[in-house]
Amino acid sequence: MNASPAIVLIVEGVRLVSQLGEIRAARRLGEGVAGLLGEWRLRREEWWDRLVALEASGVRVGLVEVARRLVLSDVELDLVLVVLAPHVDPELLSALVDREGEFYFRGITVDLLLGLLFHTSEDRLVARQDLFGGSPLFRMHLLELVPL
C-alpha cells in the first residue's frame, strides 16, 4: 500500500522534529547551536514550501488547511509537529526527550518545545508570550496546558 504524497511529507516534517534532539544534545555539551538551529529552520521552511506546493497542485493537505484557517505562526506549526511526532513514530520521542535521570515522561511541555526551538532565553520568552498571548491552538482548545 502506497502512502499519499501528503502523508509522506507530513511524516518527513515530523522527522525533522527529531533533529531538534541532536541540537539539544549539542547545546548540553556546550557546543554552539545558533547555526544548527538556523539550518534546521531553513530545512523546515523548505519542507513547508513543498507541502504548500503539493496542496496548490490539487492534493488536499489538512495540515496546510488548518494552518491557514488558524493563521498559525512558525512556532505554532512547530508545536503541532512536536505534538504529532510521537504519534507518527514513537521512537522520535526519545530523540526529543532526555530521559536520563527521569523516572517517567509527563508529556511535551511548552518549556521543552521552546528549549528545542530557541537558543536564547530572550527568544524563548518572546515565543512564550506569543503563544500565551492569544494562540489559536490554545484559544480553540486544540491544545491545552495542564499542570505537571
Per-residue model confidence as pLDDT tens digits over 70-112: 888 888 888 888 777 777 777 666 655 554 444 344 566 777 7
CA-based torsion, 95, 101, 106, 112: positive or negative: negative
Spell out the alpha helix ranges (H) of 57-145. 62-70, 74-88, 90-96, 110-117, 121-132, 136-139
Task: Provide mean pLDDT across the span 42-63.
Answer: 89
The C-alpha cell at 91 is: 521512537
The pLDDT value recorded for residue 57 is 92
The pLDDT value recorded for residue 110 is 74
The pLDDT value recorded for residue 107 is 61
